[in-house]
Amino acid sequence: MAEDDPLEPTGIDAGSGRATDHDQYLSVDDVPDIAPTAELSWRTRIIESIPAKRRALKYVVAITIAVLWIVPFIGLFMASIRPLSEIIGGWWHLEGMTVTFENYYRAWNYSTAPMGQALLNTFIVTIPAVLVVMLLGVMAAYPFARFEFPLKTTLFFLILLVMAAPPELIAMGNFNALREFGLFDTYMGLILIHIGWGLGWVVLFLRNYLLGIPEELEEAARIDGASRYQIFRTIILPLSTPALVSVAVIQFTWVWNAFFFPLVFMRSPELYLAPQVLPLMRGRVQVEWGLIAAGSIMTMAVPVLLFLFLERYYKRGMVAAVAD
Amino acid sequence: MVAITLENVSKYFGETVANYQVNLQVTDGEFLVILGPSGCGKTTALRLIAGLEQPSEGAIYFDDDRVDGRSPSARNIAMVFQNYALYPHMTVAENIGYPLKVRGFSPDERDEKVEDVTSLLHIEDQVEKKPGALSGGQRQRVALARAIVREPTVFLLDEPLSNLDAKLRQEMRSELKRLQNELEITTVYVTHNQEEAMSMSDRVAVMNQGTVQQVAPPQELYDRPRTAWVAQFIGSPPMNLFQGTRRNGSIDLGEAGTVDLSGVLEAKEAVVETSERDDVQSTALLASDTQGTVSLGIRPENLTLASTPPPSGNVIEGRVDTVEPMGEYILVNVSVNDQIVNAKVSDRTVSRGDRVYLTFDTNDAYVYDTNGDLVA
Ligand SMILES: Nc1ncnc2c1ncn2[C@@H]1O[C@H](COP(=O)(O)OP(=O)(O)OP(=O)(O)O)[C@@H](O)[C@H]1O
Ligand SMILES: [Mg+2]
């Protein structure tokens, strides 16, 4: 039977001898419920976890780069918690180190420009600039992602064009405009400027994200009887939470750290924002490195905390926006 | 519950003709299946009924109301999408309750109805889960539950079983049919799986290239395919079509033999006379001895194989190409005039290269003219 034509299987009788050979097969009961765990002694585990030479080399390089990257931050932090006399010679001398929060305390209440007030001012500008951009952004992005309307491509192109413009040039025009509207040296003016500049990338980012939400979901909702507004509120918004959180974090950092716009549009010292206040802390006789360092750390801390707090949301948003 | 009527409905997407002059009546409470190959416009037809697309031409009626132009929510339809389109951020209960919520039902009423349908579809245990945590079959049930929870008048399904494995598909098939019987909702069901179409439907609408080829109950579709295309589309494996020349009241199939046309005609006469079509012309066509090409169609299950030429009857001669044992039957592929002909037989008596004679009963033969229309 060995030379059977491959096109002709060997008929029914070929299997008759196999009726009894159960031992060839496993019973379902023999399949373990859980995969077996590898049982290793501590010794072997430790030996296995020590990387091979090439791997070790890669680790060394990576860690070195990471340290180089982080050194300035460490320096800043050290400078902020030590008295000026100790850091004059270099923050890296660790002998006889005294830890003090004096710098933070003084920066917070610094006479010409108290950091406490400046941080509060920055919140006053940043929070509306972020919330309004999110709201307007998603409302503008949705039609770009879903509807057909005249001049859609042209308008979208315009938005991209605005993003490409250099702020330093446009700021001249903004300056004049704010003067004319009487919004110069007001938070309202600064907030509007930030909204204008933020909206471009936010619309682009959210549109790309919304394009990735299956249209079928909205069709299902239409059939279920939902109105356009209900679809937006109960389907689109909840599904775009990750993207909205990403937008919030990035826009927050951007507005919070902005130096150029407040510098151009804010004149009254009592209205100064945190990044503006930092250079004022230099001191008269001697540069007060400790104060500047403490002020910088306080300013930086806010966006960093926000990043950490919202991390699990915006990571998903970024991946989705890039993937589509 | 309503009857649906499509009147000369066409749908164009730019230059693409998705549907062309579709005429279709779905009677109240009927289970109609739209069957056709991929890209033939089934989904488009369903979306037109749903109101997700508006027809480029023609009119759609629910009973006597013209509905084209109305929004989907104004038509009180329910639809199950191919990938179910469950809302990923809501739990199963919220998904099912969503149509009620947006239509303003009170939470108590909502809970009650959701409870009813979940027990009807045996998904009570899943209500707290998100769709992502469900198996394909469970998602399917949730989609069905969401569709029936608000008691729609029309139920539209777009290949809802295509993502399921064979066993589950079988199960859901009978469950869907049972559900439709119980609820008596007018249902339009789209599929490209003819087994599904045949087993579930009251009537099948066969579509090709955007237009309806034949609407008939499953058995009639199998017994009397209106065109050669439908004949070849229905049945597995499809019907064998032989090209032949009409000569003196018989069909000449070249080297393979000659089939007595009068026999075919006689056998069919009764059917021809009772059918609605005006068949005077085709009878004349067959009887006349003008020359012309026709196609002779015979289903694989109606062919009998013999190794010696039978004394009488219609015989087609060929050579065995391959033999495929399918378990239930044996499929023999016979090469006739360089064309492969399928025959279903029950015993294996032939092998590759054998000369065989295919015989058939004249009752089982179909004749199609050059346009592909059934003449006998
Ligand atoms: N929104 C659209 N824009 C452009 N062309 C479309 C659109 N929808 C469908 N078509 C075209 O219309 C034709 C019919 O599509 P349809 O989706 O109705 O086919 P189908 O029968 O459902 O196919 P399948 O079995 O693969 O789902 C196709 O050629 C398709 O490319
Ligand atoms: Mg389709």
B375 part of a folded domain = no
By Cβ distance, the residue of B81, B103, B325 closest to A225 is B103
Average pLDDT over residues A104-111: 88
Residue type, B344: K
Q: What token pair was written down for A38?
A: 């590898």
B120 part of a folded domain = yes
User: Across the interface, do B73 and A7 touch by the CB < 8 Å criterion?
Assistant: no
Please say whether the dihedral angle defined by the alpha carbons of residues B285, B288, B290 and B291, taken in this order, is positive or negative.
positive
> Which of the four pLDDT bands, split at 50, 70 and 90, describes residue A42?
confident
Within an 8 Å CB–CB cutoff, is residue A217 touching chain B?
Answer: yes
By Cβ distance, the residue of A11, A216, A224 closest to B98 is A224
A144 Cα to chain B: minimum distance (Å): 20
By Cβ distance, the residue of B102, B351, B352 closest to A230 is B102
> For residue B82, how many other CB atoms are within 10 A of its CB?
16
CA of A218 to the centre of ligand 1 (A): 19
pLDDT value at position B272?
Answer: 39
Paired strand residues for B315: B359
Using DSSP bridges, classify how beta strands B203-208 and B31-35 pair: parallel, antiparallel or unpaired: parallel
Does residue B256 share a domain with residue B300? Answer: yes
Mutate to test the pocket of ligand 1, among B40, B208, B212 (most ligand atoms within 8 A of CB): B40
CA of B82 to the centre of ligand 2 (A): 8
Q: Are B6 and B60 in contact (CB under 8 A)?
A: yes
Strands (E), B114-265: 154-158, 186-191, 203-208, 211-216, 240-247, 250-252, 258-260
Closest residue of chain B to A8, computed from CA coordinates: B323
Q: What percentage of chain B reaches a pLDDT higher than 70?
A: 90
Task: Tell me which residues have their CB closer than 6 angstroms to ligand 1.
Answer: B 13, 16, 18, 36, 38-44, 192
Assess whether pLDDT exceeds 50 at residue B280: no
Does residue B154 share a domain with residue B13? Answer: yes
User: Across the interface, do A7 and B52 touch by the CB < 8 Å criterion?
Assistant: no
Does residue B91 share a domain with residue B226? Answer: yes
Q: What percentage of chain A reaches a pLDDT higher than 90?
A: 48
Paired strand residues for B340: B335
Which bin fits A20, alpha (ψ -120 to 50), beta or left (φ > 0)?
alpha
Assess whether pLDDT exceeds 90 at residue A211: yes
B333-346 exposure pattern, b = at least 16 Cβ within 10 A, e = fewer: bbebbeeebbbbbe
Average pLDDT over residues B286-299: 71
B373 part of a folded domain = no
Q: What token pair was written down for B230?
A: 């439908």
By Cβ distance, the residue of B73, B351, B352 closest to A223 is B73
Does residue B278 share a domain with residue B163? Answer: no
Mutate to test the pocket of ligand 1, among B44, B196, B211 (most ligand atoms within 8 A of CB): B44
CA of B192 to the centre of ligand 1 (A): 13
* Least confident among A2-11, A211-220, B83-92: A2-11
A222 Cα to chain B: minimum distance (Å): 6
**A194 SS3 class:** helix
User: Across the interface, do B77 and A223 touch by the CB < 8 Å criterion?
Assistant: yes
Q: Pick A113 or B211 by higher pLDDT.
A: B211
Within an 8 Å CB–CB cutoff, is residue A220 touching chain B?
Answer: yes
Average pLDDT over residues A287-304: 90
**CATH code: domain of residue B333:** 2.40.50.140
* Least confident among A96-105, A125-134, A183-192: A96-105
pLDDT value at position A3?
Answer: 46
Cα within 13 Å of Cα(A312), Cβ side: 1
Ligand with the closest atom to the CA of B39: 1
Domain closes at, from B232, B267, B283: B232
CA of B300 to the centre of ligand 2 (A): 29
CA of B158 to the centre of ligand 2 (A): 7
> Which of the four pLDDT bands, split at 50, 70 and 90, describes residue A324?
very low
Does residue B244 share a domain with residue B225? Answer: no
Assess whether pLDDT exceeds 50 at residue B271: no
B376 part of a folded domain = no
pLDDT value at position B130?
Answer: 92
> Which of the four pLDDT bands, split at 50, 70 and 90, describes residue A166?
confident
pLDDT value at position A113?
Answer: 79
pLDDT value at position B290?
Answer: 54
Does residue B243 share a domain with residue B224? Answer: no
Ligand with the closest atom to the CA of B209: 1
Closest residue of chain B to A226, computed from CA coordinates: B102
With a CB cutoff of 8 Å and minimum separation 6, the contacts of B44 are: B11, B18, B19, B53, B210
Ligand 1, atom 10, residue with closest C-alpha? B18
Strands (E), chain B: 4-13, 16-26, 31-35, 57-62, 65-66, 77-80, 154-158, 186-191, 203-208, 211-216, 240-247, 250-252, 258-260, 292-298, 304-306, 314-325, 330-336, 339-345, 355-360, 365-368
Domain closes at, from B198, B216, B232: B232
Q: What is the rounded distance in angstroms from the CA atom of residue B238 to the CA atom of residue B310? A: 25
pLDDT value at position A319?
Answer: 55
**CATH code: domain of residue B145:** 3.40.50.300
User: Across the interface, do A223 and B52 touch by the CB < 8 Å criterion?
Assistant: yes
pLDDT value at position A84?
Answer: 79
- The residue segments making up the domain with residue B122 are 4-232
Assess whether pLDDT exceeds 60 at residue A167: yes
Ligand with the closest atom to the CA of B38: 1
> Which of the four pLDDT bands, split at 50, 70 and 90, describes residue B360?
confident
Average pLDDT over residues A40-53: 78
Average pLDDT over residues B333-352: 87
pLDDT value at position B169?
Answer: 86
pLDDT value at position A4?
Answer: 46
B142 part of a folded domain = yes
CATH topology of domain A113-323: MetI-like fold (1.10.3720)
Ligand with the closest atom to the CA of B35: 1
Domain closes at, from B184, B209, B232: B232
Mutation site for A-interface testing, chosen from B13, B70, B73, B83 by largest number of A Cβ within 10 Å: B73
- Structure-token match 């079928």, residue found: A216
How do residues B226-244 score in pLDDT, each as one tens digit?
A: 888 999 899 888 899 888 8
Assess whether pLDDT exceeds 90 at residue A222: yes
> Which of the four pLDDT bands, split at 50, 70 and 90, describes residue A21?
low
Ligand 1, atom 3, residue with closest C-alpha? B13
> Which of the four pLDDT bands, split at 50, 70 and 90, describes residue B186?
very high
**B213 SS3 class:** strand
pLDDT value at position A191?
Answer: 96
Q: Across chain A, what does the average pLDDT equal?
A: 85
pLDDT value at position A165?
Answer: 84
Does residue B118 share a domain with residue B102? Answer: yes
Does residue B249 share a domain with residue B178? Answer: no
How do residues B102-138 score in pLDDT, each as one tens digit?
A: 999 999 999 999 999 999 888 899 999 999 889 888 8
Q: Across chain B, what does the average pLDDT equal?
A: 86
User: Across the interface, do A224 and B81 touch by the CB < 8 Å criterion?
Assistant: no
Radius of gyration for chain B, computed over Cα atoms and rounded to the nearest angstrom: 25
B157 part of a folded domain = yes
Does residue B242 share a domain with residue B227? Answer: no
pLDDT value at position A18?
Answer: 53
Q: What is the rounded distance in angstroms from the CA atom of residue A132 to the CA atom of residue A138? A: 10
Average pLDDT over residues B72-83: 91
Does residue B200 share a domain with residue B269? Answer: no
Q: Pick B286 or A64 by higher pLDDT.
A: A64
With a CB cutoff of 8 Å and minimum separation 6, the contacts of A93 are: A86
Assess whether pLDDT exceeds 60 at residue B287: no
User: Across the interface, do B79 and A235 touch by the CB < 8 Å criterion?
Assistant: no
pLDDT value at position B183?
Answer: 86
> Which of the four pLDDT bands, split at 50, 70 and 90, describes residue A2?
very low
- Model pTM score: 0.78
Paired strand residues for B6: B24, B60
> Which of the four pLDDT bands, split at 50, 70 and 90, describes residue B262?
low
Report which of B186, B201, B199, B90 is spatially closest to residue B146, judged by C-alpha positions.
Answer: B90
> Which of the four pLDDT bands, split at 50, 70 and 90, describes residue B275?
very low
Does residue B258 share a domain with residue B191? Answer: no
pLDDT value at position B281?
Answer: 47
User: Across the interface, do B98 and A11 touch by the CB < 8 Å criterion?
Assistant: no
Assess whether pLDDT exceeds 70 at residue A16: no
Report how far apart, in Å, the C-alpha atoms of B268 and of each of A15, A34, A87, A210, B276 are: 46, 65, 109, 60, 14
Average pLDDT over residues B336-351: 86
Assess whether pLDDT exceeds 70 at residue A65: yes
By Cβ distance, the residue of A11, A225, A239 closest to B99 is A225
pLDDT value at position A156?
Answer: 92
Q: Are B194 and B202 in contact (CB under 8 A)?
A: no
Does residue B179 share a domain with residue B146? Answer: yes
Q: What token pair was written down for A120?
A: 């509060």
Within an 8 Å CB–CB cutoff, is residue A62 touching chain B?
Answer: no
* Least confident among A130-139, B40-49, B260-269, B314-323: B260-269
Q: What token pair was written down for A239?
A: 């599904």
Q: What is the rounded distance in angstroms from the CA atom of residue A139 to the CA atom of residue A147? A: 12
Q: How many domains, chain B?
A: 2
B321 Cα to chain A: minimum distance (Å): 10
* Least confident among A47-56, A98-107, A110-119, B129-138: A47-56
pLDDT value at position B91?
Answer: 93
